[in-house]
Amino acid sequence: MLQAFSDNAIYAKCRSFFGERLTPADYGEMMKKSSVSEVAAYLKESTHYRDVLSGADEGTIHRGQLENLLRNEKFRIYERIIQYDARRDGDFYHYIYLREEIDQLINLLMYLSGGCDGEYFYRYSDYLKKHCTYDLDRVVLARSFDQLLEILAGTQYAKILEKDRPEGEDRFDLAACERNLNTYYYRSLLDTIDKEFSGETRRALHRLFLERIDAENIAGAYRLRRFFKNTPDSIRLNLLPFETPSRKLIDDIIASGTPAELEQVLRHSQLGEMMEEGDIQFIENITHRLRNHLSKRYIWYSSHPPVVMVALMTQLDLELENLINIIESIRYGLDPAEMKKLLVI
């Protein structure tokens, strides 16, 4: 009975928060703004971000501060939802922080790979700082691969990245580091699901995260084939090593010989209905629309509370990305019509 009450509460909370998400009209209003301060003022006055922005001075807030505060909203909602789940102390409910701490490492590695010119500008949520398994404040100060490994000593991440430590003056392989970190994330997550769930809930969670792996592998295979002309064997080595529902589609992408063939492969797949004019250059636009479509379907039709909760977090991730795209677009003076192409609504 207690679990049934818990499940009903999670359904209700998730669907309530889903109903509060930003609307196309909200995005339309923000795209008319001419400054970050005006966007902050709108979010503070008219949207569910009012609480995380309550202490902010929208007249002086800068882009980095605003993005950090907006990131806090996802975690605020997440922690309000999981308090209703009797399983909240299990490892599965740490997945959101595991994803974030790995993303921080990947962002830092990108910076190190680019030559470390200037100060590393990092953004992370106050919530992540409470849950992170490594010393976040020290990690963001690393200025070389060796320094990063030294700071991470004793963690699982040091073991993962040690395999890619370069010899002498060689540069480290950023793509390999990113692939290995993401492989660790998904493998840990799927193993945890197997340990903590059973039956249809376990199968539904597996399907949800395998669909996410699919989206990453489809985008990766497409970019490597179209823009870098990698060989089929090289492409496969760069993908996440999991058996997923769209394996045939990925094989067809890898086997495509021309951009026209690639486009036909996508149009005849489940991604076809997600494609819009000009999308063929930006595969992430298509895969993000698919994530948007699937997560909405899970929220409305899944009978498994953890699945509904993960789907809501996906919606909040996409919403945050939309907001960051609007803020960046205003910063660079893009026209609202161009901004709209970057949004997933």
Q: What is the pLDDT of residue 120?
A: 67
CA distance 62 to 71: 15
> Which class for 345: exposed (0-12), middle (13-18), buried (19 or more C-beta within 10 A)?
middle
Out of 110-114, 156-160, 203-207, pick the least confident.
110-114
Q: What is the CA radius of gyration of the chain?
A: 21
Q: What is the pLDDT of residue 257?
A: 87
- Average pLDDT of 110-117? 81
CB atoms within 10 A of CB 91: 15
pLDDT at 152: 98
Residue 128 contacts residue 98 (beta carbons within 8 Å): no
Distances (CA, A) of 259 to 13, 119, 272, 286: 45, 39, 15, 16
Predicted local confidence at residue 1, as pLDDT: 46
Contact 72, 125 (CB under 8 A): yes
pLDDT band at 168 (very low <50, low <70, confident <90, very high): confident
Residues 205-229: pLDDT tens digits? 999 999 999 999 999 999 999 999 8
d(Cα 327, Cα 123) in Å, to the nearest integer?
Answer: 15
The span from the CA of 212 to the CA of 280, in Å, is: 20
Q: Two tokens at 183? A: 């492989």
Contact criterion met (CB below 8 Å) for 217 and 240: yes
pLDDT in tens, 18-63: 999 999 999 999 999 999 999 999 999 999 999 999 999 988 998 8
Q: Quick check: 325 pLDDT over 60?
A: yes
Give the up-direction half-sphere exposure of residue 243: CA atoms within 13 A in the CB hemisphere. 0
Residue 292 has pLDDT above 90, yes or no: yes
Residue 200 has pLDDT above 60, yes or no: yes
- CA 310, CA 338: separation in Å to the nearest integer? 30
